[in-house]
Amino acid sequence: MTWSFISIFISFILGVLAIRYLQRFDVYDREPLWSMVVATVVGGFASVFIGLVLYEITDPLIPQGFIRTFPGAFLVIGPIEEIAKLLGLIIAWFFIRKQITEINDSIIYMACVALGFSLIENYMYSNRMAGDEYLLFIRLFISTPMHITFSVFMGYAIYRIYYEKRSWQLLAIAFIWAVILHGAFDGFLFINMPLLVILLVAISFQQVLAMANFSNYLSPFKLRFANIVEDYTVDQVVRKPCPYCETTTNNDAIKFKKIRLFHCHQCGHYHGKQENITNLLDYLHPRFKFGKKSRELNITQYAGKQVYAYENTIYFTSEKIDKGFFKMADITGLTIRMKKQAEEKFRKSPYSPAKYFVD
């Protein structure tokens, strides 16, 4: 009994960490904790019940021992457990539907249902797998994040079908893909191929992260920089030194979330401290992390001055990058380029049907 509760606790922590990581991409309309708990509990118990019923119905039709074979993982375990989680989300949907307002919401709630399913499944496995420490160990530390990874494509598909009237073919593709991933995971475990399990985990996580990043650009709550300027410029003109024209003149002040910027009346540039520009980029492009090697500044010329530039869009007059400036047209162009990059990265995710989810 003690081992069962330890396994549940560890699985819960790993699952919560996986969902919290996905939440990093849910930056425009974050989900309340209560609705995530409801999805986990209601969807988890509903999906386990449905799965047990389906296993009971199909048991007389399946040869003894077949379910714990490589083909059995694809033909029995994958289809039954993925349809159970899908139906679990649909049942939970009735309780949380008002909270689902963008694609990442549906992805996160599908992850919550998968978490609930996996916690109950792990508890059941820990009670009946004494002596099979290898499978139990893998399930304990990997199965909960993987259950989430298997299913989130279905969450993506359901949102686009329900709210955007996309073809039901999208859900069929997502379901088949979930079954393939699930079947491969269990199948590799059954034939003792841990390296293939690790490879599957790595590829699957990359696919999910690419999907979550791309989904941000489809959020109806995401404001363009022009909208931020229009809606959040305060009714007060302040005098501030501009790092571009190097004059202290009148500026419009823009205050939005953790972003504090100024619009110089003299030269028309927007400017602010490095931390505020970073916050702006974090909002417009949630995967942006200022200062990483992949985001290094390059030395270039701007209006005859030597500056330090990021993506030829944001410029700093000092190597300390304490203050920067940019034009609205440049930040708008950067947003368009990064959306296209996110779409291409998702579309070209290795070994996935992502192209069907983008088109």
285 DSSP 8-state letter: S
Q: Answer whether 90's CB lies under 8 Å from 155's CB.
A: no
Give the pLDDT of residue 151.
Answer: 92
Does residue 170 sit in the same domain as residue 237? no
Q: Where does the pLDDT of residue 236 fall: very low under 50, low under 70, confident under 90, or very high at 90 and above? A: confident
Assigned domain for 352 exists: no
Q: Which residues are within 8 A (CB) of 357 and not within 5 positions of it... i.e. 6 or more apart?
A: 153, 156, 157, 160, 170, 173, 174, 211, 346
Site of tokens 């992949």: 294
User: How deeply is 78 buried, as exposed, middle or buried, from its count of CB atoms within 10 A (0-12, 13-18, 19+)?
Assistant: buried
Higher-pLDDT residue of 142 and 42 is 42
Does residue 229 sit in the same domain as residue 133? no
Q: Answer whether 166's CB lies under 8 Å from 33's CB.
A: no
Whether residue 163 is predicted with pLDDT greater than 70 in this model: the reply is yes
Q: Calculate mean pLDDT across residues 228-236.
A: 92
| 297-354 tens-digit pLDDT | 788 888 888 888 888 889 988 766 678 999 999 999 999 999 998 899 899 887 888 8
Does residue 45 sit in the same domain as residue 175? yes
67: Cα separation from own chain's centroid: 32
Q: Answer whether 49's CB lies under 8 Å from 124's CB.
A: no
Higher-pLDDT residue of 64 and 140 is 64
Does residue 41 sit in the same domain as residue 179? yes
Assigned domain for 171 exists: yes
Range of the domain at 154: 2-216
Does residue 249 sit in the same domain as residue 332? yes
Q: Specify the DSSP element, H or E, that contains 75.
A: none
Residue 325, strand partner residues: 271, 315
Cα separation, 151 vs 159, whole angstroms: 13
Q: Calculate mean pLDDT across residues 124-151.
A: 72
Total tally of structural domains belonging to the chain? 2
Q: Answer whether 91's CB lies under 8 Å from 43's CB.
A: yes
Q: Calculate mean pLDDT across residues 152-171.
A: 93
Assigned domain for 310 exists: yes
Cα separation, 90 vs 97, whole angstroms: 10
Assigned domain for 349 exists: no
Helix axes 194-216, 328-347, angle to 10 degrees: 150
The chain-wide mean pLDDT, for the chain, equals 87
Sign of CA dihedral 156, 162, 165, 169: positive
Assigned domain for 159 exists: yes
Write out the two tokens for 263: 């619009």
Whether residue 30 is predicted with pLDDT greater than 90 in this model: the reply is no
Q: What percent of the chain has a predicted confidence (pLDDT) above 90?
A: 49
Give the pLDDT of residue 103.
Answer: 92
Assigned domain for 257 exists: yes
Give the pLDDT of residue 276.
Answer: 93
Among the three residues 216, 245, 267, which one is the final residue of a domain in this structure?
216
Higher-pLDDT residue of 330 and 122 is 330
Does residue 60 sit in the same domain as residue 205? yes
Q: Where does the pLDDT of residue 18 fall: very low under 50, low under 70, confident under 90, or very high at 90 and above? A: confident
Does residue 144 sit in the same domain as residue 256? no
Does residue 52 sit in the same domain as residue 184? yes
The DSSP string of 165-202 is ---THHHHHHHHHHHHHHHHHHHHHHTT-HHHHHHHHH
Q: Calculate mean pLDDT across residues 116-133.
A: 73
Among the three residues 195, 216, 237, which one is the final residue of a domain in this structure?
216
Cα separation, 102 vs 36, whole angstroms: 15
Among the three residues 216, 248, 263, which one is the final residue of a domain in this structure?
216
Cα separation, 240 vs 307, whole angstroms: 20
Give the pLDDT of residue 7.
Answer: 66
Whether residue 359 is predicted with pLDDT greater than 90 in this model: the reply is no
Does residue 63 sit in the same domain as residue 31? yes
Assigned domain for 43 exists: yes
Give the pLDDT of residue 128.
Answer: 65
Does residue 188 sit in the same domain as residue 313? no
Give the pLDDT of residue 293.
Answer: 42
* Residue 162 backbone phi and psi in degrees, to 5: -70, -45
Beta strands in the chain, from DSSP E residues, in sequence order: 233-241, 248-256, 259-264, 270-273, 298-302, 305-310, 314-316, 323-326
Q: Where does the pLDDT of residue 77 fall: very low under 50, low under 70, confident under 90, or very high at 90 and above? A: very high
Coil vs helix vs strand at 68: helix
Give the pLDDT of residue 20.
Answer: 80
Give the pLDDT of residue 291.
Answer: 43
pTM assigned to the model: 0.86
Does residue 154 sit in the same domain as residue 297? no
Assigned domain for 21 exists: yes
Whether residue 10 is predicted with pLDDT greater than 90 in this model: the reply is no
Does residue 175 sit in the same domain as residue 286? no
| 248-266 tens-digit pLDDT | 999 999 999 999 999 999 9
Whether residue 130 is predicted with pLDDT greater than 60 in this model: the reply is no
| 276-310 tens-digit pLDDT | 998 898 888 876 544 444 457 788 888 888 888 88
Whether residue 41 is predicted with pLDDT greater than 80 in this model: the reply is yes
